[in-house]
């Protein structure tokens, strides 16, 4: 359970041994640093419930440090591991498995390429230099290896990736010390994730032979992918979440970019759907394999995240907790529309606004998009977004190609030499909002972050006439050199690189935001947003883009950059920084869209 004590703090994690026990503090992220710039990453509790392993990030960096705490006494152990990135903490016996990189050269910590990580086992109390190397692949230094342990503690599962999609899969028997690592999949064409192991049978989710995902079963005696047996075959909707609780398989499917939950028995037979409050998004279904009850969260655009208790045997849902927010959400409504993109593809978009909205073209509007890396945008709540809605604004979230809303084919339709489809979808979304009189060009703002920052930069360059305001946040702006920094090379499966071929070079150069700022163009008001410790998309991208704009644009609109200090790609910010950022964001948008705030 999380609790926030005031607006300057981060949420505190509490725990109970049973639902009737008194809650106790598990970890308080506010005590990690005085200024709030050290944030809590992931955490994992040992199987005996004695120890808490957790990671921290300093200044928003992707680099993590692992610490271990005795839960009952609150004492911090001496175990401390640095240069960890993209790793969990997988407990086994009196220690855990994790992934660590070599110590980077001085000065390269936030910009150098991250290569050749290894999977280690750390025994509690041992020096880090004595950690055993479990998996190393020096012949392929560009690959990243991560791991997990099956719930029955019989197998170590190793995943290896060389991009943001597709992974190899290996398994090691932990019951035999001399056991070799067994290859299950050694290519990177598809995504695979081990869900469970029982009596020699593994359950696996995969998009091999199923672009929208399926669940299969196999044994180590039958590793040929074509011999995998369907447990839950591919459905018409995208399989996006799986939990095994109470000997049932709880699946989350994405249907037109919102969630639907189906329950199957362990043999793959459909049982029933889980009732949800409205169109929205679910997360969790956290529980043990033999539990009858588990917990999940649900939220939507005007439905703050609430926690529900679900009985998997009775198929009953009970509200466990919801936040108290002084907003009348009944005043707002959400509509989903479908429009045609440039090539005739049907694209979905959610539109949120106050009931009674007049379609007169005069409504201040924010269009938000992402369109990449198989990442799906589904309905979610944001308290800062309510500032826009309360002031009569419209929020539109478009589900662009390149995302994962309709499976692998939808994703691939927005990658590499088809990346322009993503920009065309976004342009068509803006034109739809204007044509249907939700807004007009002088009342429309465009926003996106990371890959969405690239989207904003490219679309603003291509169609500056459609927007009054553009907000590219932590964006990938230099498409010719993005792969030269930190983990940028992992994005090549979506973008391609300038070194692949002349055709790919020319294509990237044709839309790269940094290289397509033109003189004599009337650009909208632009606020580029970045952070000095962003080692995911290094701030040099934003610096180059704003430099190009300020050099070539001579119009009346401001083109400025906002640089957050001691912050990274977005995660782990203290509440005070998030409030300051939201205040600057909406002040900039409101001023240029002519919104007079209802509160001062």
- Whether 305 maps to a domain, the answer reads yes
With beta carbons less than 8 A apart as the criterion, state whether 139 and 129 touch. no
Question: What local confidence, expressed as pLDDT, does residue 428 receive?
Answer: 99
Which of these three, 297, 324, 351, is where a domain ends? 324
From 281, 297, 324, give the residue that closes a domain.
324
Provide, rounded to the nearest whole percent, the portion of the chain with pLDDT above 90.
85
Whether 380 and 473 map to the same domain: the answer is yes
pLDDT band at 442 (very low <50, low <70, confident <90, very high): very high
Indicate whether 272 belongs to any domain. Answer: yes
Beta bridge partners of 168: 160
Write out the residue range of the structural domain in which residue 270 sits: 235-324
Instruction: Read off the DSSP letter of residue 11.
Output: P
Q: Using CA atoms, how far apart are residues 283 and 321, in angstroms rounded to an integer?
A: 14
Do 572 and 440 lie in one domain? The reply is: yes
Does pLDDT of 8 surpass 70? no
Q: Which of 414, 395, 413, 502 is nearest to 458 (CA)?
A: 414
What's the confidence (pLDDT) of residue 600?
57
Cα 189 → chain centroid: 21
Same domain (yes/no): 383, 487: yes
For 553-576, write each residue's pLDDT tens digit: 999 999 999 999 888 887 767 788
Pair 334, 446 in one domain: yes
Q: Is residue 96 part of a domain?
A: no
Residues 384 and 481 in one domain: yes
The DSSP call for residue 500 is T
Kindly report the three-state secondary structure assignment for every residue of 66-111: EEEEECCCCCEEEEEEEEECCCCCEEECCEEEEEECCCCCCCCCCC
Query: How many Cα atoms are found within 13 Å in the side-chain-facing hemisphere of 154?
Result: 8
Residue 433 shares a structural domain with residue 498: yes
Identify the pLDDT of residue 4.
44
Q: Cα–Cα distances in Å, from 260 out to 274, 347, 520?
A: 8, 20, 49
Say if residue 277 is in the same domain as residue 297: yes
Residue that the structure tokens 């692998």 belong to? 408
- Cα 313 to chain center, whole Å? 31
What pLDDT digit, counting tens, does each position of 222-247 carry?
A: 788 989 999 999 999 999 999 999 99
Domain boundary residue, one of 278, 304, 324: 324
By C-alpha distance, which of 21, 62, 22 is closest to 42? 62
Same domain, 395 and 436: yes
Q: Are 153 and 47 in contact (CB under 8 A)?
A: yes
Chain segment 292-303, per-residue pLDDT in tens:
999 999 999 999
Q: Strand order of the sheet with strand 144-149?
A: 144-149, 155-161, 168-173, 181-185
Q: Where are the alpha helices (DSSP H) in 419-486?
A: 420-435, 451-462
User: In the prediction, which pLDDT does 572 show?
Assistant: 66
Q: How far apart are CA 535 and CA 108, in angstroms?
A: 10
261, 395: one domain: no
pTM of the model: 0.93
Residue 562 carries which DSSP code?
Answer: E
pLDDT at 315 over 50: yes
Q: What pLDDT does 590 receive?
A: 98
Residues 390, 298: one domain?
no
What residues act catalytically? 450, 569
Using CA atoms, how far apart are residues 68 and 56, in angstroms rounded to an integer?
A: 11
Determine, yes or no, domain membership for 471.
yes
Residues 384 and 447 in one domain: yes
φ and ψ of 490, to 5 deg:
-70, -15
- The pLDDT, as a whole number, for residue 170 is 97
Beta bridge partners of 191: none
Alpha carbon 378 to its chain's center: 11
Predicted confidence (pLDDT) at residue 6 exceeds the cutoff of 60 = no
Tens digit of each residue's pLDDT (9 = 90 or more) over 263-310: 999 999 999 999 999 999 999 998 888 999 999 999 999 999 999 999
The reported pLDDT for the residue numbered 7 is 47
Residue 514 and residue 578 in contact, taking contact as beta carbons nearer than 8 Å: no
β-strand 469-473 against 444-449: which pairing, if any?
parallel
Here the CATH number for the domain that contains residue 494 is 3.40.50.1820
Q: Is the pLDDT reported for residue 18 higher than 80?
A: no
Task: Quote the pLDDT of residue 165.
Answer: 87
Q: Let me know: does 96 contact 84? Beta carbons within 8 Å.
A: no
Tell which residue, 179, 270, 265, 184, has the closest CA to residue 221: 184
Write down the number of H helices and E strands in the chain. Answer: 8, 35
Q: Is 21 domain-assigned? A: no
Assess if residue 562 is contained within a domain. yes
Total structural domains in the chain? 2
Q: Is 9 buried (19+), middle (13-18) or exposed (0-12) by CB count in 10 A?
A: middle
pLDDT of residue 21: 84
Does the residue 467 lie in any domain?
A: yes
Residues 396 and 293 in one domain: no
Q: Indicate whether 440 belongs to any domain.
A: yes
What is the average pLDDT value for the chain, to the nearest integer? 95
Question: For the residues 186-205, what does the mean pLDDT come to?
Answer: 96
């Amino acid at each position: 359970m999380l609790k926030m004590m005031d607006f300057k703090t981060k949420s505190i994690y509490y725990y109970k041994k049973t639902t009737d026990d008194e809650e106790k503090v598990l970890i308080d992220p506010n005590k990690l640093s005085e200024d709030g710039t050290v944030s809590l990453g992931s955490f994992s509790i040992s199987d005996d419930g004695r120890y808490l392993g957790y990671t921290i990030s300093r200044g928003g960096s992707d680099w993590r440090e692992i610490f271990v705490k005795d839960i009952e006494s609150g004492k911090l152990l001496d175990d401390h591991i640095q240069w960890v990135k993209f790793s969990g903490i997988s407990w086994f016996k009196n220690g855990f498995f994790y992934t660590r990189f070599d110590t980077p050269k001085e000065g390269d910590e936030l910009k150098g390429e991250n290569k050749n990580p290894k999977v280690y086992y750390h025994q509690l109390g041992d020096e880090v230099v004595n950690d055993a190397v479990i998996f190393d692949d020096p012949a392929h230094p560009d690959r990243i290896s991560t791991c997990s342990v099956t719930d029955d503690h019989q197998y170590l599962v190793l995943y290896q990736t060389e991009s943001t999609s597709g992974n190899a899969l290996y398994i090691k028997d932990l019951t035999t010390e001399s056991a070799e690592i067994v290859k299950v999949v050694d290519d990177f064409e598809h995504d695979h994730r081990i869900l469970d192991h029982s009596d020699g049978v593994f359950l696996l989710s995969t998009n091999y032979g199923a672009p929208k995902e399926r669940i299969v079963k196999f044994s180590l005696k039958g590793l040929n992918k074509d011999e995998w047996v369907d447990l839950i075959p591919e459905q018409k909707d995208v399989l996006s979440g799986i939990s095994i609780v109470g000997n049932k398989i709880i699946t989350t499917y994405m249907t037109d970019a919102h969630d639907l939950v189906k329950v199957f028995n362990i043999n793959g037979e459909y049982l029933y759907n889980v009732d949800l409050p409205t169109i929205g998004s679910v997360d969790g279904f956290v529980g043990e394999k033999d539990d009858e009850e588990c917990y999940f969260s649900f939220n939507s655009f005007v439905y703050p995240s609430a926690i529900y208790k679900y009985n998997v045997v009775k198929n009953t849902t009970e509200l466990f907790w919801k936040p108290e927010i002084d907003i009348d959400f009944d005043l707002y409504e959400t509509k989903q529309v479908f429009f045609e993109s440039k090539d005739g593809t049907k694209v979905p978009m959610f539109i949120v606004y106050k009931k009674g909205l007049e379609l007169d073209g005069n409504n201040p509007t924010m269009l938000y998009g992402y369109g990449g890396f198989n990442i799906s945008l589904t309905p979610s709540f944001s308290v800062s977004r309510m500032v826009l809605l309360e002031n009569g604004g419209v929020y539109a979230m478009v589900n662009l190609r390149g995302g994962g809303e309709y499976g692998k084919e939808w994703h691939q339709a927005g990658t590499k030499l088809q990346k322009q489809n993503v920009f065309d979808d976004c342009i068509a979304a803006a034109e739809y909002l204007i044509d249907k009189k939700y807004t007009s060009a002088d009342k429309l703002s465009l926003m996106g972050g990371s890959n969405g920052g690239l989207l904003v930069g490219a679309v603003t360059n291509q169609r500056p006439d459609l927007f009054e305001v553009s907000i590219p946040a932590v964006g990938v702006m230099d498409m010719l050199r993005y792969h030269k920094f930190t983990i940028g090379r992992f994005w090549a499966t979506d973008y391609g690189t300038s070194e692949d071929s002349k055709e790919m070079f020319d294509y990237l150069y044709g839309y790269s935001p940094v290289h397509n700022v033109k003189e004599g163009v009337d650009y909208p008001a632009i606020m580029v947003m970045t952070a000095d410790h962003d080692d995911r998309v290094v701030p040099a991208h934003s610096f180059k883009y704003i430099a190009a704009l300020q050099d070539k644009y001579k119009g009346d609109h401001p083109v400025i950059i906002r640089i957050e200090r001691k912050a990274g790609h977005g995660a782990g910010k203290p509440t005070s920084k998030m409030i300051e950022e939201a205040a600057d964001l909406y002040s900039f948008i409101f001023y240029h869209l002519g919104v007079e705030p209802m509160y001062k």
